[in-house]
Amino acid sequence: MEQIVCKRVSKSKSELLDSTAAFWKSGAKLKVETAATPLANQPSPYIKGVYDESKIGAVKELKLATVHNNENIFFYFEWASPKPSRAIGDINVFPDGLGLLFPMGDIEKTQIKEMGSKEYPTNAWYWRPDFKEMPKNQISHGLSTSLYTEKTSVQSHSSWDNKTWCVVITRPLKISGQGEQAVELKAGGSIGIGFAVWEGSNGERGGIKAFSKEWRELVVEA
């Protein structure tokens, strides 16, 4: 399983929660290839009937960097988006989006393609431009079961320039008050992670997206 190492740095939250910061622009990035979600996995007959699988998954690659400051963890993403979509518009125009997915339990028994199962749920952080830099926290027990939680500790900062989205998503390593609705993260630990990205101008929304087909191991440096 490929590893993603989240390094520990001595920088403030305000410095790191800036998608335009030189820190992110100058650092090394990991390239994550993405692929179209299979239409066979979509539970809706309507979706299967109106979408062409060969045209799903407009974004083919994400560039990623991640660090933590012992209080908050930060993920920085870049991806090509020639025509940004910031809100729901005309027919087949939806907002761009980005998701991080974590298994809540045994990674070997948690299916990334189905976003978990009843016994092995997943936790997602879901960003869209129209969420006003307050990404949603989701819990899923399989396809078409994703629900936003009432509380969320996830924040973001985003910018679009030169046909590229740049997004930072952050959350405290330790959180309280969300019980089983948020994944546990800690310095010196590791967890599975996956990614998804939506190109709204391509009609992508819900389960129609590009995603990383396999779990990666996120190693949080002590």
φ/ψ of 126, rounded to 5, equals -120, 115
pLDDT of res. 43: 63
Q: State the pTM of this model.
A: 0.94
Please state, in angstroms and rounded to a whole number, the distance separating the CA atoms of residues 9 and 186.
15
Token digits of residue 90: 């005309």
Tens of pLDDT along the chain (222 residues) come to 899 999 999 999 999 999 999 999 998 999 999 999 877 676 666 565 667 777 789 999 999 999 999 999 999 999 999 999 999 877 777 999 999 999 999 999 999 999 999 999 999 999 999 999 999 999 999 988 999 999 999 999 999 999 999 999 999 999 887 878 999 999 999 999 999 999 999 989 988 999 999 999 999 999
Beta strands at 210-211 and 190-198: parallel, antiparallel or unpaired = antiparallel
| C-alpha gyration radius of the chain | 17
**Domain coordinates in residue numbering, the chain:** 3-220
CB-based burial label for 215 (10 Å; 0-12, 13-18, 19+): buried
Beta strands at 61-68 and 136-140: parallel, antiparallel or unpaired = unpaired
In this structure, which topology does domain 3-220 adopt according to CATH? Immunoglobulin-like (2.60.40)
Please state, in angstroms and rounded to a whole number, the distance separating the CA atoms of residues 102 and 95.
23
DSSP helix/strand/coil, 62: strand
Show Cβ contacts of residue 189 under 8 Å, excluding neighbours closer than 6 positions. Answer: 220
